[in-house]
Amino acid sequence: MTIPNAENNKKNGIGPDIWLAGDPEDLKDWMDKGVKGIVTNTVVLKDMTDKYGSIIDLTKRYLDITDKKVAIEIDGHSTSELLDVGEKFTKLSDRIILKIPMTEYALEAFSELKKSNVETFCTTIFSLNQAVIAANAGVTHVLPFCEPFLDVNKDSTELIREISSTFEGWENRPFVTAALVRSVATAHKALKDGADGIIIFWPIFKEMIQNKFTDEWNKTFLDHWNGIYDAGNLNDIGYKP
């Protein structure tokens, strides 16, 4: 299996990816609506393991609701610990991605995981320096955080622009996947500013689908469609509302 990279996505005309987070019972209704896969973090994992039990059983629940990729965040105190824990998950499925916070010992783990052809996410990216270092270590996706910058009155997606601009033209560059995107407005900014993908909870995804003008025009068109039906002019296609 070849590890994906952002340049190949663009060469093949593949647009930005949308990854969903949340409870597997909620996510299963959304997985066939244009999303790339599922992404977890340890906050979500703590809540979900409190609800469903062991983390391996929870991971299997995620795998069971989709044939798409599932990113499991792992953590630890050393490179060897990350690699040992990570192997428990990658043995479950070749659809597992390992998501690891940015630390010194994570960098060596990314290098080793690349050798083993394991797709990886580097999370808790808050600077261009960190993104470049993680990229050079061999990570598949760098995950710059967005919403926390709003808490200090900064542009939520400035870092997306900086990383995207710096990575432009790099051969086999990693994906720039926006993380901690908690609103439709931030999702819009991240995509506009060059993110290769965004990670959002499913209610934000649902909200992104909706628009009041879309609702108004959909009603207009459906009313006229029903008028065609009422006039008997859909009989030849066997349509029944």
Q: What secondary structure, in 3-state letters, does 176-237 show?
A: EEEECCCCHHHHHHHHHCCCCEEEEEHHHHHHHHCCHHHHHHHHHHHHHHHHHHHCCCCHHH
Length of the chain: 241
Question: pLDDT tens, 25-75?
Answer: 999 999 999 999 999 999 999 999 999 999 999 999 999 999 999 999 999
- Judged on CB neighbours under 10 Å (0-12, 13-18, 19+), 56 is middle
Question: pLDDT tens, 106-156?
Answer: 999 999 999 999 999 999 999 999 999 999 999 999 999 999 999 999 999
Question: pLDDT tens, 152-202?
Answer: 999 999 999 999 999 998 988 999 999 999 999 999 999 999 999 999 999
Whether residue 148 is found in the same domain as residue 34:
yes
1: in domain: no
97: in domain: yes
Whether residue 152 is found in the same domain as residue 218:
no
- Interatomic CA distance for residues 121 and 71, integer angstroms: 8
The residue type of 15 is G
- Interatomic CA distance for residues 228 and 235, integer angstroms: 10
Residue 1 — pLDDT band, cuts 50, 70, 90? Answer: low
Whether residue 148 is found in the same domain as residue 38:
yes
Whether residue 233 is found in the same domain as residue 139:
no
What is residue 11's predicted lDDT score, i.e. its pLDDT?
Answer: 72
Backbone phi, psi, residue 199, to 5°: -115, 120
Whether residue 30 is found in the same domain as residue 130:
yes
Domain that holds residue 99: 6-210
Q: Which two tokens stand for residue 114?
A: 């690349």
Whether residue 197 is found in the same domain as residue 220:
no
- Cα 193 to chain centroid distance, Å, stands at 16
Backbone phi, psi, residue 173, to 5°: -70, 155
Per the structure, the count of domains in the chain is 2
Is 14 a residue whose pLDDT tops 90? no
Interstrand relation of 96-101 and 120-125 (parallel, antiparallel or unpaired): parallel
- Judged on CB neighbours under 10 Å (0-12, 13-18, 19+), 174 is buried
Residue 6 — pLDDT band, cuts 50, 70, 90? Answer: confident
Task: Give me the residue label for tokens 């808490």.
Answer: 151
Distances (CA, A) of 21 to 35, 175, 204: 11, 18, 10
Whether residue 236 is found in the same domain as residue 149:
no
Whether residue 153 is found in the same domain as residue 126:
yes
Whether residue 166 is found in the same domain as residue 240:
no
Whether residue 97 is found in the same domain as residue 180:
yes
**Rounded (to 5) percent helix, strand, coil in the chain:** 50, 15, 35
Whether residue 180 is found in the same domain as residue 217:
no
What is residue 12's predicted lDDT score, i.e. its pLDDT?
Answer: 75
Whether residue 111 is found in the same domain as residue 29:
yes
